[in-house]
Amino acid sequence: MKTLTSPEHFTFTNHFNQSLLKSRIAMMNKRKSNWKSFGKYGMFIASIWVCAAFTKPYREEVKTTLIEKIPVLGEVLETPVSKLTPLKDFVLEAKREPSSKTKYVHFNEGKLYWVITPKVTLKDLSMIQNEFEKVGCTFVVKQLKLNALGYYISEIKVGTSLPKGGGRSSSGLIKSVNKPFDSFGGWLSVKDASCGISSISYDTLFKKVVEKDQHLLSEWLKKHEKEHSKANKSEAYDEQTQNFRENFYKSPLRALNGLKELQQEELQFLAESGARNGVYFEDGNLRLDPFYITAEIFVDEKESNLGQIQQLDVKDISAILISAVYTDSSRKHLTRTVAVFTKNNQKLP
């Protein structure tokens, strides 16, 4: 009981070792080392470096001695250290030329070259547009017309333009009557902000492309000469009548309802029934009402006269167009024109 109640066993102080505590307090109160103390560490490092420098010539001798005494170490010491693959100098690669998906476009030395032949298809033109878009430029087909049988392009007008309001170029209307037009092309450079179109401006790489298309067209024309010629004549008639209409509607002095057009079916009806509509027929031959006797007369866009057209048979005529245009702004006097279009450009007797 005396042992349990002894005050020595119920102390409220900590149990740190008193001598250890004193040493810690002394360390905390100790002055910091001055800069000269760091010299000791510097001298130590320097001595190690000097020792390493002086012992380098003797490394091989020490190595040989160790291998002689302990042969097993030879396998370790003689194993060559694999060299690290040297890093190549960083070189900025030149920008690669875009690759074209159509034979009608070629990229070379930062320029885009292109060519148009009569044999290009609508799909080819679309692909050319896509190649222009790769370099941020524009290729536009402004006008397009196929030949009478739809095998090749007979008329085309294209334009190219650089991005951000840069240069522009236009081909004008390229066409040829009764035969394919000559191939043409152009070039475009975004870097130089320049572009152009010419019959000789396409890259020499296109020489084989042009020659191949020309050969295909030549072979096709030989096989379809007759039907192509017939279709061209029909197309020429359509173009002639269209020109006559356009000229009339462009005139600011045209008379109200001043254009009359009689197609072949209507002419045949007039010939069979004996009816009149500015023109009529006697025994199948063309006649004009007295009202139009003083009119200007044309046959297939060539100037003619009343005597000549009266020899035309209804079977030879495709259409007749009659127009009335005022002579001046007073609109008091009219000039009338009779245009006769024959089948296959029938020659007058």
Domain-terminating residue out of 223, 248, 278? 223
Give 38 or 285, the one with higher predicted confidence.
285
What integer is the mean pLDDT of 87-101? 63
| Residue 260 shares a structural domain with residue 305 | yes
| Residue 285 shares a structural domain with residue 328 | yes
What integer is the mean pLDDT of 110-127? 91
Q: Report whether pLDDT(296) > 90.
A: yes
For 192-208, give the DSSP string: TTEEEEETT-S-GGGHH
pLDDT band at 349 (very low <50, low <70, confident <90, very high): very low
Q: Report whether pLDDT(297) > 50.
A: yes
Count, residues in the chain:
349
Mean pLDDT score across all residues of the chain: 78
pTM of the model: 0.47
In a domain, 71, yes or no: no
In a domain, 24, yes or no: no
pLDDT band at 149 (very low <50, low <70, confident <90, very high): confident
Give the number of other CB atoms < 10 A from CB of residue 262.
Answer: 18
| Residue 280 shares a structural domain with residue 176 | no
For 60-122, give the DSSP string: HHHHHHHHHH-TTHHHHHTSPPPPPPPPPPP--PPPPPPPPSSTTEEEETTEEEEEE-TT--H
In a domain, 297, yes or no: yes
Domain-terminating residue out of 191, 223, 255? 223
| Residue 201 shares a structural domain with residue 245 | no
CA distance 200 to 185: 7
In a domain, 36, yes or no: no
| Residue 211 shares a structural domain with residue 316 | no
The label of the residue with tokens 């320049």 reads 194
pLDDT in tens, 188-241: 888 888 888 887 655 577 888 999 999 999 998 888 877 777 666 666 656 778
Q: Look at strands 334-342 and 296-299 and give their pairing.
A: parallel
Percent of the chain with pLDDT over 90: 22
What integer is the mean pLDDT of 324-347? 84
In a domain, 199, yes or no: yes
In a domain, 113, yes or no: yes
CA distance 79 to 67: 13
Total tally of structural domains belonging to the chain: 2
In a domain, 50, yes or no: no
Give the number of other CB atoms < 10 A from CB of residue 304.
Answer: 17
In a domain, 18, yes or no: no
- Give residue 280's pLDDT: 92
What integer is the mean pLDDT of 166-172? 84
| Residue 205 shares a structural domain with residue 112 | yes
Domain-terminating residue out of 223, 248, 283? 223
Q: Report whether pLDDT(7) > 60.
A: no
Q: Report whether pLDDT(77) > 60.
A: no
CATH code for the domain in which residue 281 is found: 2.170.130
| Residue 147 shares a structural domain with residue 208 | yes
Strand partners, 341: 319
| Residue 153 shares a structural domain with residue 257 | no
Task: Dihedral sign for Cα 256, 258, 259, 262, please.
Answer: positive
Q: Domain of residue 189: give its range.
A: 105-223
| Residue 272 shares a structural domain with residue 305 | yes
| Residue 216 shares a structural domain with residue 261 | no
| Residue 282 shares a structural domain with residue 215 | no
| Residue 118 shares a structural domain with residue 191 | yes
